[in-house]
Amino acid sequence: MPSGAGAAAPRSRAGLLLSIALLLFVGALFAAHPSADPDLPWHLRTGQLALERRSTLPFDPFSYSFEGAPWRYKDLLADVLLYLGSAAFGRFSIPLLRVAVTLLYAPLLGLALDRRDRRPLTLAVVVTVSLCGFGLSERPQLFGHLLFLALLALLDRAQRGLAEGDDTRGLLRALAPVVATQWLWVCLHRSGLIGLALGLAFPLRLSLARVFAVRAASERRSALTALLGPAVSRRALGAASLAAVAGVALACLNPSGLALFTSSFAVERSAMMRQYVTDFRPLGLVGYYRAFPAGAVLVVVAAIAGVARLALAAASAPSPRHPLHPRRARLAALLPPRPSLQLWHVALLAFTTAQLWSAARWLQFAALSAGLVLAHLASELTQLVEARGWPSRGRGLAKALAATLAAALATAIVGPSVDVSVAEDPRFYPIGAVAFAKEHGLAGRVATPLYYGGYALQQLWPDTRVLVDGRNDTVYPPEFVVRTIFEAEDAATFAAARAQDGAGWVLASNAPGRVTHRFLAADPAWMLVYWSDFAVVYASRAAHPELAPLQIDFLKDADAVLPQVIRALDAGVAPRRIHEQLQRMVATSPASVRAVGGLCLYYQRMGPSWWGRRDETMRALKAFAPEQPIVQALEREIAATR
């Protein structure tokens, strides 16, 4: 065996192991935090019910507002897969899914490159940087992102395969994976429409490459030929066109049928919904930077580098009529032996980035498009390094440095959110409130805000049916969702809706800055029977008289606890009752500034005999929220009495 080959094998294995270690580390970072997606619970319940009933669930079984109404679209296959994972691995299913997806990104990205240019560590670094630009979701959309990257890679591979041969076996080998991936994507998530659009654009891409290759009659066309990729035969072009049509036809055979092509557009046409549903909000590049600074930088860097690379290729392309000019020859020396980046890669990045001004949900596709551009550029850079014979030790140090920097970037961006827990995040799920409802037999119809309906649906159905949940564009029309938003903010609208539907209790948000139904605390027809820092429960006095002893009646606003303590004491409410209710609030949210601060203020106002408890409570407050303005204000008031 040649000595060079013997030395290459250990280096290759070392690079592979280092890339796997990097991806496992990054996947663990993304996995190490509690589940927090408000839509995940109803996706899991949907998958479970579909299996139990052996049905595609054509009608809504979960809500009372649209019970029995057509459920036009659902990510049924993805929901079933998510549920099966949950049934098999419990709360570890989503963390394990994140790690698995992270590991899959690199080999899928590698499909876009020529086999000779696939470097595992390079791909792992590009994947790490790309993931820092958008993170990993906890819903069927995650499968869509994965298949988006897979389809881009398969289209690149298909063009190379079609250029190499147009026999029947070659055509099937190149195009069958593309059609299969499109179909799998539309079955898993409706973003598969993007895959169909990419498939329809593929023959156009091949046509341009063929036209400029066959008719390279000018310098400009000759330059474009190098940027459009290898040309294919007429037969291959026809096969690609048939495959594009077949992809659209096959897409109709999905669990939701033609509804795949019509859902979600109603939300995009509703200005109110576009502001309320995060995925549909206009974002732009500045908004992207505020949400994911690394992603915005990634997109800009990839765009600049991609355009510069294409400009260099165009400037150094040989003329069909004249010999290569010395200046162009020097430019051509800067290009790799096997060009990898094409014009369409940069065009795709420009398109997905432009869509950020339409909806935030495009940011993942923009980041992945940028990652594809960087993968091609990294491939070309590797070719140049190897062609110029850089010392292997230097290349090894460069790889180690790149892996270290990528791991450091992921740690800096994702690390602050790491919470080694697989539990559900109580800041996003009304866990305690739902447990209270179960314990005290609250069932029937419940009014919830949009983002709490999914969790209530998962935990309480079929005994309880929700007003609304995250299926805002597949079951509930936008005008209805907008009405529920107003119900949560306006007492008159709420009263009219409850008079019509008879809902007997309300699961409301109490998260700081996102309080809903706050007017109910002062409504004599309703009782505040459960309070936590993130969710509260109101019960109709007429429907649930048995809960009257649990009413937290000193609060007339569930958000403004401290002022309500002062108001209640000044109004002559029995101090013992206020104390008992505050202790219940602290028991449900021991790290709540509002609840613990209210208890501290109560002790302060009750006089010196209570100040020992006051000081103990203040120490607890300062332990978990020393910088909060409420805590600092309490400190000043306490200091004034010493």
Q: What is the pLDDT of residue 551?
A: 96
pLDDT digit string, tens, across residues 37-58: 899 999 999 999 999 999 999 9
Q: What is the pLDDT of residue 391?
A: 64
The burial class, CB within 10 Å (0-12 / 13-18 / 19+), for 515 is middle
Q: How far is CA 577 from CA 165, 535, 574, 630, in A?
A: 84, 22, 5, 23
Mean pLDDT across 80-92: 94
Instruction: Assess whether pLDDT exceeds 70 at residue 1.
Output: no
Give residue 3's pLDDT band: very low, low, confident or very high (50, 70, 90): very low
Instruction: Assess whether pLDDT exceeds 70 at residue 289.
Output: yes
Of residues 425 and 474, more confidence is placed in 474
Mean per-residue pLDDT over the chain, rounded: 89
Q: Are 537 and 529 in contact (CB under 8 A)?
A: yes
pLDDT digit string, tens, across residues 175-229: 999 999 999 999 999 999 999 999 999 999 999 988 887 766 554 555 667 788 8
Give residue 108's pLDDT band: very low, low, confident or very high (50, 70, 90): very high
Of residues 304 and 320, more confidence is placed in 304
Q: What is the pLDDT of residue 596?
A: 96
- β-bridge pairing 514-515 and 526-531: unpaired
C-alpha 127/C-alpha 104 separation (Å) is 10
C-alpha 495/C-alpha 516 separation (Å) is 14
Instruction: Assess whether pLDDT exceeds 90 at residue 68.
Output: yes
C-alpha 415/C-alpha 403 separation (Å) is 16
pLDDT digit string, tens, across residues 592-607: 999 999 999 999 999 9
Q: Which two three-digit tokens encode residue 275?
A: 């502001």
Mean pLDDT across 516-534: 96
Compute the Cα dihedral for 397, 398, 403, 404 and give only its sign.
positive
Of residues 13 and 458, more confidence is placed in 458
User: What distance separates the 2 farthest-apart alpha carbons in the chain?
Assistant: 100
Angle at 341 between CA 338 and CA 347, to 5 degrees: 160
Q: What is the pLDDT of residue 401?
A: 87
User: Residue 415 CB: number of other CB atoms within 10 A?
Assistant: 12
Instruction: Assess whether pLDDT exceeds 90 at residue 152.
Output: yes
C-alpha 437/C-alpha 508 separation (Å) is 12
Q: What is the pLDDT of residue 641?
A: 78
Instruction: Assess whether pLDDT exceeds 50 at residue 520.
Output: yes
Q: What is the pLDDT of residue 445?
A: 98
Compute the Cα dihedral for 322, 323, 327, 331 and give only its sign.
positive
Angle at 64 between CA 60 and CA 66, to 5 degrees: 50
Low-confidence winner among 149-153, 312-316, 329-333, 502-506 (lowest mean pLDDT): 329-333
| pLDDT > 90: percent of the chain | 68
Residue ranges per structural domain of the chain: 3-31+72-417, 430-559, 560-642
Instruction: Assess whether pLDDT exceeds 60 at residue 324.
Output: no
pLDDT digit string, tens, across residues 623-639: 999 888 888 989 998 88
Residue listed under structure tokens 């000759």 = 222
Q: CB under 8 Å to 381, separation ≥6 — which residues?
A: 336
Q: What is the pLDDT of residue 456?
A: 97
Q: 22, 21, 106, 11: which is closest to 406 by C-alpha? A: 22
Q: What is the pLDDT of residue 321?
A: 56
- Give the global pTM: 0.91
Q: Are 534 and 426 in contact (CB under 8 A)?
A: yes
Decide: helix, strand or coil at residue 530.
Answer: strand
Which of left, alpha, beta for 284 (phi over 0: left; psi -120 to 50: alpha)?
Answer: left
pLDDT digit string, tens, across residues 239-267: 999 999 999 999 999 999 998 888 767 66
Give residue 531's pLDDT band: very low, low, confident or very high (50, 70, 90): very high
Of residues 222 and 99, more confidence is placed in 99
